[in-house]
Amino acid sequence: MRPLVWFRTDLRVRDNTALFHACADADRGVVGVFAITPEQWKHKHDWGWPKAVFTLRHARALSEELATLNIALRVVETPGYEELPEELLAIAREHGCDALYYNREYEINELDRDDAVSDAFEGAGRCVEAHTDLTLTAPGDIRTKAGDPYSVFTPFKKACFARWDERGAPEPLDSPAKQDKMVGAPDVVPEQLDAYAGGEAFRADLWTAGEHAALTRLGVFASQRLAGYKDDRDAPAINGTSSLSPSLAVGALSPRQCLRAAMDANNGRYTDGAQGPDTWISELLWRDFYKHFVVAFPRVVKRRPYKTETEAIAWDDNDDHLTAWKEGRTGFPIVDAAMRQLEQTGWMHNRLRMIVAMFLTKDLFLDWRLGEKHFARRLVDYDFASNNGGWQWSASTGADAAPYFRVYNPTSQSKRHDPEGAFIKAFVPELAGLDKKTIHEPSRDGSLFAGDYPAPIVDHACARERAIDAFRALKTTQA
């Protein structure tokens, strides 16, 4: 057998389920293939320049890793998914590949794409093997006693632990078998795409590509910061998170590798251990939860709210407010610092993602889909399920969402999580001269606004009441 391994959001060699089994089954070598679909990425998936360029960099690193296993990575480029069945089949025919191996993806377009490719291969007399790899547990496998999918996180997590109690926690696979000789020659992965020409600049140097870099980050986090993760993760001014979300988003790192590192630091436990590892394992399961959710409730993939009654909300239409939010000019320092961090680095601290999302949807009362789309275009770690789940959580329209009456006060959040104002000063330098009390509410210093920093664009107390009233009215109308 000579399998063709189709790489997607699994750009790594180690603990790659499809690759591992393909290498074990092969007796005439293995060929890899990676598909670049820039029009699909940009216009249907809203990928921005950071995610697209980061993905290409990882594909180049993957090609080098595969070469050490005597596997050539072929590259096909088509505008969208429609052309992939014939393009991939042509690669299989060229190299005499009699099987296709890949790891499953779960959004609607990807499911349709994979069905079309599988039909083409099977119609041409070639077998297809699809594997579970992106999640710790296969979507659809974890259900309530009534057989329904979970829509609340805590019972979902408990059900995962119960499954692991019975069958053991998911473990990383061994390294794939090296092939005797390379079949064909690898293609060159482009560094840039015409569809993204002139793309936005960001600190690409912050995100080293490749699975070696990802595993190094994981090791440093597990040994140096995981123990304090529960206490440090909400402080944006310190390096208290794993910063592994970009690696997970492109598949340079597997969730099983992360779980194993956490368990190794937790005396082999996945729950009821030390607070740091326990908390991070919960975060890994939040990632699983959202991927399970898009399979169970595919309407969210179509940008519809999980709570369908919230489709009746009449969100504001205020382009000035939206622009001020995007550019970090709202007059709320913690919001502005977070949005500038996103613009400059392609990443945002998780606590800040909740703060700015709730500010957009509750203080500015703008449609959550506007924020979801902006994040998709700016995040180097963009992942549809996690991004959509986080935005709908903040907007009180999604699974296990924040109650509509819980509205973050950005000033209180700032004082609690950035008490010295260090994070604000790093990204809003025009406020660097303020003391740690004034920096959270510079509007109290009337003279400041003769300078570069704007006054608050909304009154939080009034905006909060307005948002609560709108959700309350919705419930009253539908009662």
Query: Is 192 contained in some domain?
Result: no
When the pLDDT of each residue in the chain is averaged and rounded to a whole number, the result is 95
How is the beta sheet containing 31-36 ordered, strand by strand? 72-77, 31-36, 3-7, 99-103, 127-131
Q: Rounded to an integer, what is the distance from CA 343 to the centroid of its chain? A: 17
Q: Are residues 353 and 405 in the same domain?
A: yes
Domain CATH number, residue 235? 1.25.40.80
- One domain for residues 110 and 146: no
Residue 448 has pLDDT above 60, yes or no: no
Same domain, 157 and 122: no
Mean pLDDT, rounded, for 398-426: 96
Per-residue confidence (pLDDT) for residue 199, from 0 to 100: 67
Assess whether 273 and 352 both reside in one domain: no
- Predicted pLDDT of residue 198: 73
348 shares a domain with 288: no
- Runs of H (alpha helix) within 221-318: 229-232, 245-250, 255-264, 275-296
Residue 315 appears among annotated catalytic residues: yes
Give the predicted TM-score (pTM) of the model. Answer: 0.95
Q: Which domain holds residue 26?
A: 3-134
47 labelled catalytic: no
Looking at the structure, do residues 105 and 161 belong to the same domain, yes or no?
no
Is 368 considered catalytic here? yes
Residues 257 and 398 in one domain: no
- Both 469 and 366 in one domain: the answer is yes
Is residue 357 in some structural domain?
yes
Q: Do residue 318 and residue 453 come from a single domain? A: yes
- Which of the four pLDDT bands, split at 50, 70 and 90, describes residue 447? very low
- Set 16, 103, 266, 350: catalytic member: 350
The count of domains in the chain is 3
In the chain, what percentage of residues exceed pLDDT 70? 97
Name the domain boundary from 296, 320, 336. Answer: 296
Q: Is residue 187 one of the residues assigned to a domain?
A: no
Pair (282, 390) in one structural domain: no
Q: Is 280 a catalytic residue?
A: no
Per-residue pLDDT tens for 4-39?
999 999 999 999 999 999 999 999 999 999 999 999
Catalytic residue among 64, 283, 343, 441: 283
Q: Which of 47, 286, 325, 347 is catalytic?
A: 286
In a domain, 176, yes or no: no
350 is catalytic: yes
What CATH number corresponds to the domain at position 56?
Answer: 3.40.50.620
What pLDDT does residue 206 have? 83
How confident is residue 120, by pLDDT bands cut at 50, 70 and 90? very high
User: End of a domain among 265, 296, 327?
Assistant: 296
What average pLDDT does the segment 97-105 reach? 98
Q: Where residue 451 falls among pLDDT bands split at 50, 70, 90?
A: low
Q: Average pLDDT of 172-201?
A: 91
DSSP annotation of 7: E
Structural domain ending residue among the three candidates 246, 267, 296: 296
Asked if the structure places residue 206 within a domain, the reply is no
Catalytic residue (choose from 6, 207, 325, 391): 391
Cβ-based burial of 181 (10 A; exposed 0-12, middle 13-18, buried ≥19): exposed
DSSP state letter for 142: -
Catalytic residue among 41, 368, 372, 393: 368
Do 127 and 144 sit in the same domain of this protein? Answer: no
Beta bridge partners of 32: 5, 73
Residue 303 domain flag: no
Q: Give me the CATH number covering residue 402.
A: 1.10.579.10
Closest by CA to 102, choosing from 86, 113, 87, is: 113
Query: Is 451 within the bounds of a domain?
Result: yes
Which of 315, 318, 343, 441 is flagged as catalytic? 315
Q: State the Rg of the chain over Cα.
A: 23
Percent of the chain surpassing pLDDT 90: 93
Q: How far apart are CA 457 and CA 331, in angstroms?
A: 6
On the question of pLDDT at 287 being above 60, the answer is: yes
Q: Is 283 tagged catalytic?
A: yes
Q: Answer whether residue 201 is part of any domain.
A: no
Do 157 and 235 share a domain, yes or no? yes
pLDDT at 145 over 90: yes
* Cα–Cα distance, 340 to 64 (Å, whole number): 34
205: tokens are 């140097």
Pairwise CA distance, residues 336 & 327, whole Å: 7
